[in-house]
Structure 1
Amino acid sequence: MFTAPDPERLRLRQASRAVIGVGLAVLAVAATGLDVRAAITGGLAALLALFTVTDADVRGQAGTTALLPLVGLPVLASAAVLHDAPPLRDAAFLGIVFAGVYARRYGPRGNALGIFAFMTFFVAQFLRPAPQDLPPLAGAVLLALAVAALVRFGLWPIERRTPPPAAPPPGDERGLRRPTTRQAVQATVACGLALLAGQALSHERWYWAVGAAWWIFVNTASRGETLVRGFRRVLGTVVGIAAGLLVALPVDGHPAATAGIVAVCVFGIFYTAAVSYSWMMFFVTVMVGLLYGLLGVLDAGLLALRVAETLIGALGAAAAVVFVLPVTTHATTNAWIRRALVALQRGTEDAARRLAGDAAADPARRVAELELLLGRARLALAPLVHPLNPYRERKARARLVLGLLDECAARAHALAGIAADPEASHDARLTEGCQRVEEAVRRLLRQQAPGAAEDRRADAECAHRQPEGDRAVAHLHALEAALAGLAGPLHSAPRGPLRTA
C-alpha cells in the first residue's frame, strides 16, 4: 500500500484534501446546532462527493457535484417515507440499485450519481430518519456538499494530469447484450438475494448485506473481477472488524478520539482506493464501527453481525455473476486489449509522421491513451493471475500477456520520446519499421497469426537490419517481436492449449 507508485503525489494530495473537506463539512453542520445524525449525514455526503466525482475536467466535476443533491434528496425523502413500509422500501431500494448501475453507461457522471443515490438510501437505513427529520438532514447534505465543493474547487483545487477514465469497451449491443444492462440486472439480483438473506439474519442490520453486494459490482466488468473483488471485500471487512475490536470498542463514542481516528480512516480510504480494495474496506469498516460508537449502539456482537452480512452480500454477488447473464473474463480482457492495440497502432503512425517532420503529429498523446487502456486491461486480467485461480495454464498465459503488454507500453513510450526529439531525423528504416508494427497490429485484430515461414523471414530481416546504437529502430523491432508473441495467447481458446506458429 505505502510502496505503490504515486505519481506527483496525487493520491497523497487527494487523501489530504478529503480529510480537510470532510472535517470542515462536519464542523459546518455541527456549528448550525444540528444533532449527531445530521453531522454523520453531512460528513458522508461530503466524503461521497469527493470520492465519486471523477470527471476528466474541473468543469465536468463541478457539474456533477451540482447534480448530486438533485439525485440524493429525493432518494433521502423516499427512504424516510417508506421506512415503515418494508415491501415498498425494499422494492424502492432494488429499483435504485438497478438505476444506479444502469447509469454507468453515461460515463463518470452517471457512475457518480448512481453511487450517490444508492448510498443516500443506504445511509437512511443506517440512521432511520422519520419524515419530520428530513428538513435538518436535507440541510446537512446541502451544507456539506457546498463545503466539499468549496474545498475542491476553491481552497485546494487539484488539476488532473492524467487522461480521463477509459470508457467501457465499445460496442453496438442493445438490450441485455449491452454490458451495463447485464451488470444492472446482475447487481439487482445480487442485492435482492442479499436483502432476503440479510433480513433472515437480522431485521435491523440487513442493509449491510445489500451494501456489500452493491460495492462489489462497482468498477468491475467481468465475472472474474467481481469474484476477486468479493473476496477482497470480505478480507478487508474481517481485518477491519478485528481492528475495530481493538480501536472502536475502547473509544466507545468519545468525540475527540473518534474524530481523530475517523480522520485517519478517511485519509486511508482515499489513499488506498486506487491500489488496494482490501485496505480501503479495512478503513471503511473501522470508520463504520466508530460511527456506531457515536450513535451509542456499538458492541462486539454488532461487529460480528457486520462480518456475516458482508459474507452474505459477497455470496449473493458471486451467485449473480456466475448464473445470471455472465460476462466472461476472456471476453472483457479481449475487448480492452483490442482497444489498446488500436491505440498502439495509432501511436506508431503518429511517431512515424513526427519522425518524417510532421510537427502536428503527437505520439505522446497516443501513448498516454495506451497506458490508460493497458491499465484497464491489466485490471481485467488480474483475476486470472490471482493466487486463488486454480487454472495454472490460464494463469501462465495471463502472465505472459501481461509481460508482453508491459513490453509494448515501454517500447511505445520510448519511441514517442525519440520522435519528440528535435534532433531525430527521417530514416527510411523507421518508416518501414512502423509499417511492420502497424501490420502486426492488424493481424492481431483480424485474429490472424503470421505463418512460420513469414516469422522466420521477419526474424532474419530484423537480424540483418538491426543497427548498433539506433534506438528508434531497436524499439520498433522489439515492439514487433512483442506483438508477434501476443498472437499465440490471444488467438488460443480460453481453456485450450496455447497456440504456437
Structure 2
Amino acid sequence: MVARKTAWLWDRFAAVDPGLMRLASAMRAVLGAAASLAVLAALRQSDTDLLVGGFTAMVTSLAISDLHPRNQLITLGLGAPLSLTALTAGAVLTPYPVAARIVFLLLIYVAVHVRRYGPRGQGLGIFGFMAFFLSQFTGARAAQLPQMGAAVLVAFGAVAAVWYGPGFMTGARVLVRLRRTFDGRLRDVLRDMATLLSAGQDDDTVSQSLERRLDRLHTAVLLIEDFLDEHVVDEATDSCLLRHLSRVEVAAQRLAVLTVRAVHTSLAVDDLAGRTARQQLAGRIRLLHHQVALGTAFAPEAQAVAPEAERSIRPGERTPVQDCFQAVDDLAMAVSSLGPGRVSSPTRPGPAPQEPTARRVRAFDVKRYWKADDADRKRGTTRQAVQVTVASALSVFGGHLLSPDHWYWAVAATWVVFINTESTGEVLLQSVRRLAGTVLGVVFGYGLATLVGPDGSLLLALLLVCMFGMFYTPSDAYWAVTFFITGMLSMLLALLDTFSTDVLVLRVQETALGVSCGVLAAVLVLPVTVRRASDEELVDFLLALRRLLHETTRIPGTGTKTSLVRATHDLDQALESFRRACLPLTHPLNLQRGRRDRARHLLELLEAGAYHARSLAAVAGRLPESDGIEYAPRIADAADRVQETVTHLIRVTRHRRGTAPRTARPRVTRALSLLSDEQRMRRGRPSPEQRLLLHIGRLDTTLTALVRAWDPPVPGVGHTVVSSGGGDVSSPPSQATPAADQIPPADTHTHPSVRPCRAGRATGVTEPATSPGRAAC
C-alpha cells in the first residue's frame, strides 16, 4: 500500500515536471553553487570571492539551456573566458563610472544582438551581461582580479563536476522519464473521460479539466520531439517513437472529442440500453487506464465487449456512444503499438517499412549552432538590441538619480523584461510580472530575514532554498521566479550585513524604474504591436500547414512517414508561437474584453484546425502506399481547395486593415466543445481514405471560419453568403448536406474577400458537395 501511494505521488510529481527536467536543473544549480562555496571556503577566500563564485555558478546554470550534453559543454567552455573578460573590463573601469556605463551599454547591445544565434547566443549574452553586472555590484577593483578570476574558474569547474559527475543524466534516462510523463498524462486524460461518462452529463468542471489534460499531453509530446531533435538516442527510437506517440495523442484527442459529443447527446428517460452502453464504455476506458498504468498491452478479450454493447443499443442506427467504442479500440491499438515506457524500439505489429528518406542520426556540428535560422530567428534581434540599449540608457540615468550605488538594479530589470518577448504587449506583461514578483519577494524576504536574524548558516541554507525555487518554478510563472530571486537577494544582503528596509524599498523603486524604461522604449523605439507579432506568427502557422498538406497529398506515393512527423511538429511549434504572441490579448489581465474574447476565439479555431491537421497526418501515415489509389485524385483535389483557402488567408493576414471594425463579440467556447459540435459520421465505419477526406473538409471549414473571424466584414458592405460545413463521409455524394453549425461563425455572412464557390460566383449560390467528406464551398 505504501509503495503504491509512493508510486502514485511520484507519478503526480513527474506529471507536473515533465521528465523531471526542472528538478534536475534546480538540483544542478544548488549543488553547483554549494560546491563552489565549499571549495572557496576551504581555500579561505574572502566574502567577496565567495559571492563571485556562488553567483557565477548560479548564472552558469541559468545561461545554459541546450539539451545535448556536448552542446552544454561547449557553451560552458566558451562562457568561462567570456565571463573573465567581462569581469576584468568591469573591474578596470570601476574607477571611471562614465566609461563603465558606456561600455555596459555597448555590452548590452552585443548581448542582445547575439540572441539571433539561438540558445548558445542567448547564453553567452547572459554570461557577458551578468559578469559585468557582478563587477558593478561588488565594486570590484583591478587589484582583486586574480582572486575573483580564480573564484570564477572554481565555479565553472564545480558546475562541470556536478553536471558531468556521478549524477550525469544520459539521454536514455531523460527519455525514459519523458515517456513516463507521457504515460501519466495519458492516464489523466482517460480518467477524466471515464468520470465524464459516469456523470452522464457535461459537467463543466470535468470538461475543462479534460481539455487541460489534453493540452498537457500535447506538451509532453512536444517536449519529447524537442529532446529527440537535439539529442538523438538511436535511429530506431528517433524514427519510430515520434510516429507512435503522435498516433496515441491523436487517438486520445479523437476519443475525447467523441466522448464529449456522446455526453452532449441527450438520452430518453426509458433508454436503459443507452445508459448501460455509457457505463460499459466508461468501464472500457478505466480498463485501458489500468493497463496503461501497468505498462501492459491491451487485452484482446476486452474488445469482445464492444460489439455486444454496440448491438444492444439500436440495431439500425449508429450512435455517438458506438463511435466511442471504435475510438477506444483505436486508442488501445495505438497504445499497444507504442509499448511500455522504455527507450528501446517500440513494439510494432510488424516490421516497419523502409523509408527512403528517413532521417539518420546526426553527427554533432558546431556550425549548426552559429548559423542563423531565418524561420526561427526572425524576431528582429537588431531592433530589440536597439530597444534594450535605449531603455538601459534611461535606466542608468534614472537609477543614478535614485541611488548612485545601486543604479545597476534598474538596468537588470530592464534587461530581463526583454528576454523571450517580441511585442509591446509582451514587454508590458513581463514588466507587470517582474514588478509584482519583486514586491511580494521584498515582503517575504524582509519577514524571513527578520525572523532568522544573524544566523549565517541558516541564512545560507535559505538562500539555496530560494535558488532552488527560482530554477524549479515554471518559466510561464515569471512572477514566482522573481519572487524567489528577491528572496534570495534578501538573504544575501543579510549575509553581507547590508540588509535594511531602505535597501529593500530601493530595490522596488529601481525595479519599477527599470520596467518603466523598458515599456517606454518598447512603445517609442521601433515598436512592434501585438497585432503585427500575431499576424507574423499566423503566417508561419499557415505556411507550416501548407507544408503538411503537401506531404499528405503525397500519400500514397513517394512521401515518407518521417516527413509527416516533422511537418506535424513544425505545425505544433508554429501554433505555440502564435499562442505566445497572443498572450497579452488572451491574458485575464487584459481589460479590453472584446479584443480578449476575439483573440481567444481565433486561438480556438486554430487549435481545432491543428487537431484536424494532426489527425490528417496520422491517418495518412498509416495508409499503405498500395491502397487508396482510387481516392488519390479526390484527396489531391480536396487538399488543393484547402491550399487555396490557406493561400487566401495568408494574403488576408498580410494585407488586412490597420484597425479592426467593431463587430459583435464572438461566443467564446473551448476547442474541445468546438470539435464535439461538428457533424458526426452517421453510418458505418469509415475507411482511412474517407477519414482523410473528412479531416480535409473539416479543416477547410475551420479555415473559412478563421477568415471570417480574423478579418470581420465592415458593416454596411455587401457580402457573399457562404455556407461551409462538412458532409457525412459515409453517405453518397448526393446526400452530403452542409453543416453550417459545425464551426460557430462570428456572423452569418463572410467577408467579400472570402473565396467564393466555383459555381454561382455572381449569384452567391453555393455548389453542392461532389465527394464524400467535401463540404459545400
Q: 2:598 aligns with which of 393, 397, 408?
A: 397
Q: Name the structure 1 match of 2:704.
A: 484
Q: 1:320 aligns with which of 521, 539, 564?
A: 521
Q: 2:153 aligns with which of 142, 164, 167?
A: 142
Which one-letter code corresponds to 1:408 in the other structure?
G
Which one-letter code corresponds to 1:212 in the other structure?
A
| Counterparts in 2 of 1:82 and 1:10: CA distance versus 1, 3 Å | same
| Correspondences of 1:29-178 after superposition (within 5 Å) | 29-55=40-66, 57-154=68-165, 155-157=167-169, 159=171, 161-163=224-226, 170=375
Alpha-carbon distance, 1:229 to partner:
0.5
| Counterparts in 2 of 1:396 and 1:360: CA distance versus 1, 3 Å | closer
Q: Identify the range of structure 1 (11-20 vs 117-126) with the bigger mean alpha-carbon deviation.
A: 11-20
Q: Name the structure 1 match of 2:334.
A: none
1:38·1:137 contact (CA, 8 Å) conserved in 2?
A: yes
2:56·2:155 contact (CA, 8 Å) conserved in 1?
A: yes
Q: Name the structure 2 match of 1:455.
A: none
| Correspondences of 1:418-497 after superposition (within 5 Å) | 418-421=619-622, 425-426=627-628, 427-428=631-632, 429-447=634-652, 469-470=685-686, 471-491=691-711
| Counterparts in 2 of 1:171 and 1:246: CA distance versus 1, 3 Å | closer
Q: Name the structure 1 match of 2:470.
A: 269
Aligned residues: 481
| Counterparts in 2 of 1:472 and 1:260: CA distance versus 1, 3 Å | farther
Q: Identify the range of structure 1 (76-85 vs 26-35) with the bigger mean alpha-carbon deviation.
A: 26-35
| Counterparts in 2 of 1:492 and 1:65: CA distance versus 1, 3 Å | farther
SS state of the match for residue 58, structure 2? helix
Alpha-carbon distance, 1:466 to partner:
8.8
SS state of the match for residue 60, structure 1? helix
Alpha-carbon distance, 1:469 to partner:
4.3
| Counterparts in 2 of 1:134 and 1:172: CA distance versus 1, 3 Å | closer
Alpha-carbon distance, 1:253 to partner:
5.3
2:59·2:127 contact (CA, 8 Å) conserved in 1?
A: yes
Deviations 1:339-379 (A, max 9, x none): 12222222233234345574454322222222222222211
Q: Name the structure 2 match of 1:293.
A: 494
Deviations 1:201-250 (A, max 9, x none): 11111111111011111111111111111111000101111111121333
Alpha-carbon distance, 1:423 to partner:
6.8
Runs of 4+ in 1 over 6 A off after TM superposition: 164-169, 462-467
Q: Give the Cα separation in 2 of the matches to 1:27 and 1:337.
A: 51
Q: Name the structure 2 match of 1:26.
A: 37
2:90·2:136 contact (CA, 8 Å) conserved in 1?
A: yes
Q: Identify the range of structure 1 (55-64 vs 71-80) with the bigger mean alpha-carbon deviation.
A: 55-64
2:539·2:653 contact (CA, 8 Å) conserved in 1?
A: no
Q: Give the Cα separation in 1 of the matches to 2:637 and 2:685.
A: 18
| Correspondences of 1:180-199 after superposition (within 5 Å) | 180-199=381-400
2:116·2:377 contact (CA, 8 Å) conserved in 1?
A: no
Q: Name the structure 2 match of 1:16.
A: 27
Q: 1:353 aligns with which of 524, 547, 554?
A: 554
Q: 1:379 aligns with which of 572, 580, 583?
A: 580
TM-score by length of 1: 0.87
Alpha-carbon distance, 1:433 to partner:
4.0
Q: Identify the range of structure 1 (39-48 vs 204-213) with the bigger mean alpha-carbon deviation.
A: 39-48
1:21·1:46 contact (CA, 8 Å) conserved in 2?
A: yes
Alpha-carbon distance, 1:446 to partner:
2.5
Q: Give the Cα separation in 1 of the matches to 2:63 and 2:682.
A: 49
Which one-letter code corresponds to 2:85 in the other structure?
P
Q: Identify the range of structure 1 (135-144 vs 254-263) with the bigger mean alpha-carbon deviation.
A: 254-263
SS state of the match for residue 247, structure 1? helix
Alpha-carbon distance, 1:56 to partner:
5.5
Q: Identify the range of structure 1 (288-297 vs 247-256) with the bigger mean alpha-carbon deviation.
A: 247-256
Q: Name the structure 1 match of 2:485.
A: 284
Q: Give the Cα separation in 2 of the matches to 1:448 and 1:78.
A: 48
Q: Give the Cα separation in 1 of the matches to 2:552 and 2:375.
A: 25
SS state of the match for residue 582, structure 2? helix
Q: Give the Cα separation in 1 of the matches to 2:699 and 2:641.
A: 10
Deviations 1:32-74 (A, max 9, x none): 3222322222222222222222235333332222111222111
Alpha-carbon distance, 1:480 to partner:
2.3
SS state of the match for residue 446, structure 1? helix
Which one-letter code corresponds to 1:51 in the other structure?
L
| Counterparts in 2 of 1:93 and 1:435: CA distance versus 1, 3 Å | same
Q: Give the Cα separation in 1 of the matches to 2:407 and 2:448.
A: 24
TM-score by length of 2: 0.57
| Counterparts in 2 of 1:198 and 1:8: CA distance versus 1, 3 Å | same
Larger radius of gyration: 2
Q: Give the Cα separation in 1 of the matches to 2:456 and 2:225.
A: 39
Which one-letter code corresponds to 1:326 in the other structure?
P
Deviations 1:6-53 (A, max 9, x none): 433332333333333333233233333222322222222222222222
| Counterparts in 2 of 1:473 and 1:246: CA distance versus 1, 3 Å | farther
Identify which of structures 1 and 2 has the higher relative contact order when contacts are C-alpha pairs closer than 8 Å and 6+ apart. Answer: 1
Q: Give the Cα separation in 1 of the matches to 2:133 and 2:53.
A: 14
Root mean square deviation, CA, Å: 3.1
SS state of the match for residue 554, structure 2? helix
Alpha-carbon distance, 1:107 to partner:
1.9
Gaps of 5+ in 2: 1-12, 172-222, 231-368, 655-677, 718-745, 752-777
Alpha-carbon distance, 1:158 to partner:
5.8
Gaps of 5+ in 1: 450-461
Q: Name the structure 1 match of 2:419.
A: 218
| Counterparts in 2 of 1:123 and 1:251: CA distance versus 1, 3 Å | farther
Q: Name the structure 2 match of 1:454.
A: none
Alpha-carbon distance, 1:407 to partner:
1.8
Identity of aligned residues (%): 35
- Higher helix content, 1 or 2: 1
SS state of the match for residue 572, structure 2? helix
Q: Give the Cα separation in 2 of the matches to 1:4 and 1:213.
A: 34
1:350·1:361 contact (CA, 8 Å) conserved in 2?
A: no
1:256 corresponds to 2:268: no
| Counterparts in 2 of 1:302 and 1:468: CA distance versus 1, 3 Å | farther
